[in-house]
Amino acid sequence: MELRHLRYFVAVAEELSFTRAAERLHIGQPPLSHQIQMLEAEVGAQLLERSKRWVRLTEAGKLFLDDARRVLALSEQAMQTARRAERGEAGELRVGFTFSTPLTPLFAAVINRYRQRYPGVQLTLQEMSTIGQIEALAARALDLGLVRPPELTLPESVELTILRRDPLVMVLPVGHPLARKQSIAVSDLKGEPLVMYPESAGTGIHPQINRLCREAGFKPTIAMEAGEASTIIGLVAAGCGVSVLPSSFDIIRMSEVCYRPMADAEATTALYLAKRKDAISPLVAAFVAVADEASRHSRAGGNL
């Protein structure tokens, strides 16, 4: 049974005239009558009663008409859904983000704009470490990732596009001697007890701090480790040490803590959009376009 047969039948049933139905369908009346006869033969029931003067639905025809309309409506819905998916307006998009990403205005700008423009897309957001996102992208468990610079060799299948740069800041107890300085050099960290993410957390900041300290000629002194930024800042407030975090974390305010910029040119981090090189889905392309637009707006000094 073809959808056109259902359309022919619905037209005849609604017009109760083969002549008017044929005109509505832009086909000849004899071919239309033949198609209806073929449909009845395939269904195995008489759907229409005919005379030279009138056309009526049989009881079977009345029931068949309801179902035919539903089938045609579902077929139209299926076509519309496919077209929306082709335009990146429907489906599911899985996006990862690091622990610090929601603290950046750019994150809210991208997600809000995307949701407003593509309300039919199921946007699934997953908080994951940078390394976890890279691995999930390579394994096709994520479609896109918002990551901090990974200090590792990327899989061949994954590429990064920079969205914004952020300076690193020193997180200090307010009574710490370094808190009196306007900016702090990486070399000032020598001998200072550091509160950091554990290496196992898979963040980009852990290996970056180690690298910056090595380049400054010393090995960092790790006093404590914690998996959440708020915990790290709370431990600094409790006098357990100092820390280095992206400047976006300075939105977390505690009376016992202060933030100071880092003086070294290399003491910066960045937010990247990570995706598979072979990702050609319209869903991915639409999100990339929104992220690029928000990023350019941010760099131009626009309000996010």
- Closest to 95 in 3D by CA, of 34, 163, 35: 163
Report pLDDT for 301.
60
pLDDT digits (tens, 9 = 90+) for 202-230: 777 888 899 999 999 999 999 999 988 88
Are 258 and 289 members of one domain? no
- Hey, what amino acid is at 290? V
Q: What is the pTM of this model?
A: 0.68
**Could you report the per-residue pLDDT of 254-282, keeping only the tens digit for each?**
999 999 999 998 898 889 999 999 988 88
Report residue 162 as tokens. Answer: 């920079």
Co-location of 54 and 96 in the same domain: no
Confidence of residue 303 (pLDDT cuts 50, 70, 90): very low
Q: Domain range spanning residue 258?
A: 166-268
The Cα–Cα gap between 208 and 203 comes to: 9
Q: Residues of the chain with pLDDT > 90: what percent?
A: 59
* Domain identity same for 252 and 275: no
Q: Are residues 103 and 231 in the same domain?
A: no
Same domain? For 171 and 256 the reply is yes
- Which of 296, 279, 302 lies closest to 93 in space, CA to CA? 279
Q: So what's the pLDDT on residue 304?
A: 44
Q: Which two tokens stand for residue 209?
A: 């701090």
What's the one-letter identity of residue 28? G
Q: What is the CATH number of the domain that holds 297?
A: 3.40.190.10
Residues 274 and 159 in one domain: yes
pLDDT tens, 93-109? 999 998 888 888 899 99
- Least Cα distance to 166 among 190, 183, 149 occurs for 149
Average pLDDT over residues 110-131: 93
Instruction: Judge whether residue 235 has pLDDT over 60.
Output: yes
Q: Which stretch of 53-62, 88-97, 122-131 has the lowest confidence by average pLDDT?
A: 88-97
Same domain, 260 and 188: yes
Averaged pLDDT, 117-134: 92
Give the pLDDT band of residue 199 (cuts 50, 70, 90). Answer: confident
